[in-house]
């Protein structure tokens, strides 16, 4: 037990860290070292940059980088880069983008770009008095953060508002300053956190020196200063719409009107049932996360925001909605999402940089639109499959290929398996048996394949 723990791992060189890990935690140390080294980038400078993104870095973990073409968004055509390991996601996005290409594409509206941060503090004083002093305090806070905000203000952003909230009914003496920000094309995390921490210092100084404060009111305990990942006013709507007859091609067994009604019912179920809503929204985030990652943004932040928004009335619900009215089908997604297209990984990671180039160097609001459209496309493709063929048909082909790859099948095995499993259930054991039988056949008649 003792020998497996270590202090100061971060001080060791990369090779030393790898050795330590391989020896103490793996069954085949030499192989471990080989595997880790085999994923290093040959460009040492680039590898150094990648290593610098995190700590105790030993190697790189590959994910597929794919593209979903034919996304017509607000009249402009995009090929959307997606980073995702789940089979069928890119194929589904691509099929939905193509489907809507001939029906006017995706329309989006950025409804707001306001980000939020909070300064949480404890104070034993007269809340009404502090509320009265807010104009003066606000002025002081803004003056004190001027060195941090000047550049952002030049770019059109900065602090938008500062609100005092008395939370004493929930937790004794607990107050917060809820601060809203505009951070333009940057995600703004560093900017927001720096401003909030400075607000903390400024607030303490203000309270300790203000003549209106009694002795017991001069002390403020800053609990924490941090942005909020819940940004309901940094939100974009993406929508597709068409006459129901235009959906005649959506399904073999239903006409456009029947398909629209069944589709709307499936979305309604996700609005009213949290169990379905979680899966429905997961399908949306299959698309959203893939583009968020491809563009070097923080998918944990965007997921946290979306799921909180989905629960805003007290019950977890679908983020997308559907209406069939007067013969028109409308399907839309309201996606709260805070993104950056400058700073952070967007510049440092070569593939994030490339993704933004492929997307035409979008502003942050444009990227919000592209990502919301991809999420909606993904959701459309999933729900369309669910209410028509079932999801397994598309999934199983990819699943089959993954199993074949895993079991070492070659190209001819893949082609043969695709035919064989067309009307059979795909499972790990069924594919193994299929390959074994093929191998036996090959042994019997080497030139003949089954």
- Find, among 314, 317, 319, the residue nearest to 237 by Cα: 319
Measured between alpha carbons, how far is 357 from 362 in angstroms, rounded to an integer? 8
In the DSSP assignment, the letter for residue 251 is: -
Decide: 241 and 104 in contact? Cβ < 8 Å. yes
- Nearest approach, Cβ of residue 325 and ligand MEV (Å): 23
- Nearest approach, Cβ of residue 383 and ligand MEV (Å): 6
- Nearest approach, Cβ of residue 378 and ligand MEV (Å): 8
Q: Which is nearer to ligand MEV, 150 or 279 (CB)?
A: 279
Measured between alpha carbons, how far is 322 from 236 in angstroms, rounded to an integer? 16
Residue ranges that bind ligand MEV, judged by CB under 6 A: 86, 279-280, 282-283, 286, 382-383, 386, 391
First and final C-alpha spacing in the chain: 53
- Find, among 248, 148, 231, 150, the residue nearest to 187 by Cα: 231
Q: Which of 173, 353, 395, 442 is catalytic?
A: 395
Q: Which is nearer to ligand MEV, 60 or 279 (CB)?
A: 279
237-252 residues labelled b (16+ CB within 10 A) or e (exposed)? bbbbbbebebbeebbe
Measured between alpha carbons, how far is 291 from 82 in angstroms, rounded to an integer? 5
- Nearest approach, Cβ of residue 375 and ligand MEV (Å): 11
- Residue 298 falls in the annotated catalytic set: yes
Q: What length is written for the chain?
A: 450
Only one residue has tokens 């160097």, namely 361
Q: Which is nearer to ligand MEV, 137 or 387 (CB)?
A: 387
User: Could you give the 3-state DSSP secondary structure of residue 285?
Assistant: helix
Tokens of 389: 């063929």
Q: Which of 107, 173, 262, 282 is catalytic?
A: 282
- Nearest approach, Cβ of residue 283 and ligand MEV (Å): 3
Residues 6+ apart with CB under 8 A from 189: 227, 298
Q: Which is nearer to ligand MEV, 81 or 287 (CB)?
A: 287
Measured between alpha carbons, how far is 236 from 282 in angstroms, rounded to an integer? 18
Q: Which of 15, 31, 34, 86 is catalytic?
A: 86
Rounded to the nearest 5 percent, the helix, strand and coil shares of the chain are 55, 20, 30
Q: Which of 144, 198, 298, 366 is catalytic?
A: 298
- Residue 86 falls in the annotated catalytic set: yes
- Residue 210 falls in the annotated catalytic set: no
- Nearest approach, Cβ of residue 388 and ligand MEV (Å): 13
Residues 6+ apart with CB under 8 A from 396: 421, 426
Q: Which is nearer to ligand MEV, 356 or 396 (CB)?
A: 396
- Nearest approach, Cβ of residue 97 and ligand MEV (Å): 17
Q: Which is nearer to ligand MEV, 240 or 383 (CB)?
A: 383
Cα 15 from chain centre: 33
- Residue 248 falls in the annotated catalytic set: no
The number of CA neighbours under 13 Å toward the Cβ of 293 is 19
89-103 residues labelled b (16+ CB within 10 A) or e (exposed)? bbbbbbbbbebbeeb
Q: Which is nearer to ligand MEV, 285 or 309 (CB)?
A: 285
In the DSSP assignment, the letter for residue 424 is: S
- Nearest approach, Cβ of residue 156 and ligand MEV (Å): 38
Give the CB-nearest residue to ligand MEV: 283
Q: Which is nearer to ligand MEV, 246 or 391 (CB)?
A: 391
- DSSP-assigned letters across all residues of 72-98: EETTEEEEEEEE--STTHHHHHHHHHH
Tokens of 118: 């909070």
What backbone torsions phi and psi does residue 88 show, to the nearest 5 degrees? 85, -20
In the DSSP assignment, the letter for residue 125 is: S
Would you please indicate which residues are annotated as catalytic (active-site) residues?
Answer: 86, 282, 298, 395
């Amino acid at each position: 037990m003792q020998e497996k723990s270590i202090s100061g791992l971060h001080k060791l060189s990369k090779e030393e860290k790898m050795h330590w890990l391989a020896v103490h935690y793996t069954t085949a140390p030499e192989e471990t070292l080989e595997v880790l080294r085999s994923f290093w980038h040959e460009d040492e400078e680039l590898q150094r940059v990648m290593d610098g993104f995190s700590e105790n870095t030993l190697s790189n973990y590959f994910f597929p980088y794919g593209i979903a073409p034919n996304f017509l968004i607000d009249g402009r055509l995009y090929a959307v880069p997606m980073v995702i390991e789940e089979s069928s996601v890119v194929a589904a996005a691509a099929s939905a983008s193509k489907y809507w290409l001939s029906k006017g594409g995706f329309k989006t509206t950025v409804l707001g770009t306001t980000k939020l941060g909070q300064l949480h503090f404890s104070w034993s004083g007269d809340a009404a008095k502090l509320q009265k002093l807010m104009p003066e305090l606000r002025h002081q806070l803004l003056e004190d953060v001027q060195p941090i905000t000047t550049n952002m203000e030049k770019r059109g952003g900065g602090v938008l508002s500062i609100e005092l909230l008395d939370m004493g009914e929930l937790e004794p003496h607990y107050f917060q300053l809820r601060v809203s920000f505009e951070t333009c094309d940057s995600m703004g995390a560093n900017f927001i956190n720096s401003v909030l921490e400075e607000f903390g210092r400024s607030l303490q100084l203000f309270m300790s020196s203000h003549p209106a404060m009694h002795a017991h009111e001069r002390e403020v305990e800053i609990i924490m200063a941090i942005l909020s990942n819940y940004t309901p006013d940094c939100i974009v709507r993406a929508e597709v719409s068409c006459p129901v007859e235009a959906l005649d091609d959506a399904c073999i067994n239903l006409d456009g009107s029947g398909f629209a009604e069944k589709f709307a019912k499936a979305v309604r179920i996700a609005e009213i049932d949290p169990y379905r809503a979680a899966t429905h929204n997961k399908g949306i985030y299959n698309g959203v996360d893939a583009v968020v990652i491809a563009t070097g943004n923080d998918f944990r932040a965007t997921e946290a925001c979306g799921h909180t928004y989905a629960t805003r009335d007290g019950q977890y619900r679908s983020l997308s909605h559907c209406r069939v009215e007067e013969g028109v089908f409308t399907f839309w997604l309201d996606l709260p999402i805070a993104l950056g297209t400058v700073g952070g990984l967007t510049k440092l990671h070569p593939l994030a940089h490339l993704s933004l180039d492929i997307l035409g160097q979008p502003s942050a609001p444009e990227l919000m639109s592209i990502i919301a459209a991809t999420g909606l496309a993904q959701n459309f493709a999933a729900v369309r499959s669910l209410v028509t063929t079932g999801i397994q048909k598309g999934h199983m082909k990819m699943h089959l290929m993954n199993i074949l790859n895993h079991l070492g099948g070659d190209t001819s095995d893949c082609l043969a398996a695709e035919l064989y499993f067309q009307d059979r259930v795909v499972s790990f054991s069924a594919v193994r048996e299929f390959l074994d039988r093929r191998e036996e056949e090959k042994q019997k008649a080497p030139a003949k394949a089954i």
